[in-house]
Chains A and B, each alone.
Chain A
C-alpha cells in the first residue's frame, strides 16, 4: 500500500469526495485537499493503529480485536467527513479462486456495515473484493483512505 500509488488514485477520484452536512459547499473540494491526502493517511494510521482488519481463515466474522480497530477507524472517519473510503476485501491465499473472491466481498461488506453501524455515513464508504488476485495482506480488509 504505497502512498505514491494511492495518491494517484486520490487524484483520479477527486470528484467523488463527499461533503457531509454543513453550509453550502458544492462541487469538488478545492485543490488543497489533494496534497493533504498523504497527511490525512498518515494521521489515520497514527490514530487508528492499522488500516488492516484481520479475519479467521474462511470467515467473514468480525472478532473482538477487529471491532476495536474498526471503532477507532469509525471515530476518525466521523471527524473527517470530506474523505472517501474504499474497503478492500481479500480472501485467503490457500483458498480456491472463486471462493476467495466471494469471501473478500463478504469481509468487505461486513466491515462496511460495521462502520455504518458506528455512524459513518454510507455514502462515505464503498466496498470491493480482490479475492486472492492482488498481493494483499491476505485474510484482511484494508480500509484505504482516499
Chain B
C-alpha cells in the first residue's frame, strides 16, 4: 500500500468530517499520526506506512463511537519518536482536545513489529494509560484496534470493542441452490474468512468465550444437529452422538458447557452438556417449544424462550433448571433473546403487528424498548461493551448484518462479501 493512497483516503475522511454534527458532550480525542523511530521495510509495508494506516484506523474506530469525537490524523501534526512520550500539551489544549493518543511502530530484528500506544489527559498534562504490542506486521489492524480500545476506555471507563470478531452465516445463490457457509471477520468487516465449504445448510454460529471454537447447527445429516468447529484448524465434530435433532447452542461464560435445544418425538426442550462431551442433562420439561437458551454473564442462570403460555415469551431459570419464571409481559411475542454482558439487560426479537424487530429490556422485564423498525429484523447479539448490538435484517430476498448503538442513531450496515445472517459477536479477544 502506497503512502499516496492513504493521503487520498485521509482527504476523504477530512472532507466528510464537517458533515458530522457536533455531538453534545462527546469527548474530543486527538489522533496525530503515529511515529516511527526508523522507517524500516516490513512484510506488510514500511513502518512509517503502518504507522500512518494505524493512525487512520484508530481515528475511524473512535469516530464510530458516539461518545468520542476524534481529531483526525494530519501530516502537519507530525511528531518525532522522542515526542511520543513528551507531547506538546499546549498545542492540543488550543484545539480543545480532552485526550491525546500518541504511539509508534518499530521494526524488530525478527521481522515482527512493536506497537506502542500512549493515552494522555490533555487538560491535566499527564499520561493516563499505555500499552505495547508485539505482532506480525500483517496484524497491524488488531494492534490499532487495541490502541483505540485504550483511548475509549480512558474516555468512557468501558472497554472498547474494536478488537472483536463476528461469526455469521454467509449466503449466496437463490432458492434451492442457496449456499450457506460459516464465516468469521473482525467487527469492522476486515480479515474475513469462510469456515465451512457450503455443502450443507448451516445456522446460528455461536462463539466460545475466546472465539476459539464455534458451536453451530448443520443439516449435513439431513436433521438439524449441533456441531463444534475449531476456528484455527477448521476441524469439526458433532456435539452429541446419535441422530436426535439438536439446535440453538450457546457456550457458558467459562466455555466449559453448552446449553442447547433437543427435539424428541416432536417436543423441544433445553438441555446442557459439557463442551468436551458427556451425557446431556435435561433442564426443561414443559410441553410446548422451549428453545434459544443463553447464559447470564456469571453463568448461574439461563434465559430462554418458551411458547408454553400460547405464544413465544422469555423465561429465566437457574442453570440447574430450577425456578423457571417468566420475565416478558409486554404486548406481542418475545423470542431469540441474549443476556447482556453486564448482566442487567436482555436483547430480544420482538414479534408483533406482522413484523420482527429488535428490542431490549431489563432482566425483570421493565423498561422495554423496541430499537429497530423491522419489518424483518431478528437474532440480536451483544457486543462485549453492552452498548452495541448486531442483528440480521432481511429486505426482500436480501439478508445483511446491521449494528445499532444503544446510545441512539440508525442501524448501520456491516458490509460483507455476500448476504449474511445469524451474527454472533465475540467477547474481548484477550
Chain A residues in contact with chain B, CB under 8 A?
Answer: 5, 58, 60, 94, 96-99, 101-103, 105-110, 113, 127-129, 131, 133-135
Contacts and interface: CB of A to CB of B under 8 A. Distances in A.
B266 A105 contact: yes
Contacts of A94: 351, 354, 356
B349 A103 contact: no
A102 B219 contact: no
B224 A129 contact: yes
Q: Is the interface of B mostly helix, strand, loop or mixed?
A: strand
A127 B224 CA distance: 12
A133 B266 contact: no
B279 interface: no
Contacts of A106: 263, 266-268, 289
B273 interface: no
Interface in B374-426: 378-379, 422
Contact size range, B: 35 or more
A109 B266 contact: yes
Contacts of A133: 201, 203, 219
Contact of A131 (B224, B292, B422): B224
A96 B336 contact: yes
10 contacts: A97-B203, A98-B204, A98-B336, A99-B305, A99-B312, A99-B336, A101-B248, A102-B263, A108-B266, A135-B176
B315 to A, nearest CB: 14
A98 B291 contact: yes
Q: Is the interface of A mostly helix, strand, loop or mixed?
A: helix
Contact of A96 (B223, B265, B349): B349
B248 A96 contact: no
Interface in B348-378: 349, 351, 354, 356, 378
Nearest to B397: A135
Contacts of B217: 101
B289 A102 contact: yes
Contacts of B312: 96, 99
A96 B175 contact: no
Interface of B: 175-176, 201, 203-204, 217, 219, 222-224, 245, 247-248, 261, 263, 265-268, 289, 291-292, 305, 307, 311-312, 335-336, 349, 351, 354, 356, 378-379, 422
Contacts of B335: 96, 98-99
Contacts of B248: 98, 101
Contacts of B379: 96-97
A107 B289 CA distance: 12
Contacts of B354: 94
Given A94-B351, A106-B267, A99 B176 contact: no
Q: Which of A101, A103, A110 has the most CB of B within 10 A?
A: A101
B266 A99 contact: no
Contact of B266 (A60, A96, A134, A135): A60
Given A98-B248, A101-B291, A134-B201, 12 more contacts: A58-B311, A96-B335, A96-B356, A98-B291, A98-B335, A99-B292, A99-B307, A102-B291, A110-B266, A113-B266, A129-B223, A131-B224
B390 to A, nearest CB: 15
Contacts of B305: 96, 98-99
A108 B247 CA distance: 17
A122 to B, nearest CB: 12
Given A96-B351, A133-B201, A101 B224 contact: yes
